[in-house]
């Protein structure tokens, strides 16, 4: 049987970002290790943004007539 790997959800990704932030804040982290942690964090942040974009596109709102329509967000 093939082994299925589940992609982490937003909560797991945010938890990992928190761990990476804590690693970067350590006094004893080497420059090389900090760069690796930073790189992982930036890649993870991009995945989080992509996940949020997908969810945002799926959000629907109920119109006054009881019909579902796509949610439109106005950016200020």
The secondary structure of 7-69 as a DSSP string is: PP-HHHHHHHHHHHHHHHH-TT--HHHHHHHHHHHHHHHHHHHHHHHHHHHH-EEE-TTS-EE
Q: Which domain holds residue 45?
A: 10-70
Q: How far apart are the first and last CA of the chain?
A: 50
Domain membership flag for residue 3: no
Which residue matches tokens 């949020």? 52
Domain membership flag for residue 1: no
Domain count, the chain: 1
Domain membership flag for residue 76: no
Mean pLDDT score across all residues of the chain: 83
Closest of 72, 53, 47, 45 to residue 61, by C-alpha = 72
- Each residue of 30-48: pLDDT tens digit? 999 999 999 999 999 999 9
| pLDDT for 57 | 73
Quickly state the pLDDT bin for 60 (edges 50, 70, 90): low
Domain membership flag for residue 60: yes
Domain membership flag for residue 2: no
Domain membership flag for residue 21: yes
Mean pLDDT within 41-70: 78
């Amino acid at each position: 049987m093939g082994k299925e790997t589940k992609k982490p959800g937003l909560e797991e990704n945010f938890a990992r970002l928190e761990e990476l932030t804590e690693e970067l804040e350590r006094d004893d982290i080497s420059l090389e290790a900090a760069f690796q942690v930073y790189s992982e964090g930036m890649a993870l942040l991009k995945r989080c943004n992509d996940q949020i974009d997908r969810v945002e596109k799926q959000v629907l709102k109920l119109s006054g007539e009881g019909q579902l329509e796509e949610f439109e967000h106005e950016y200020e």
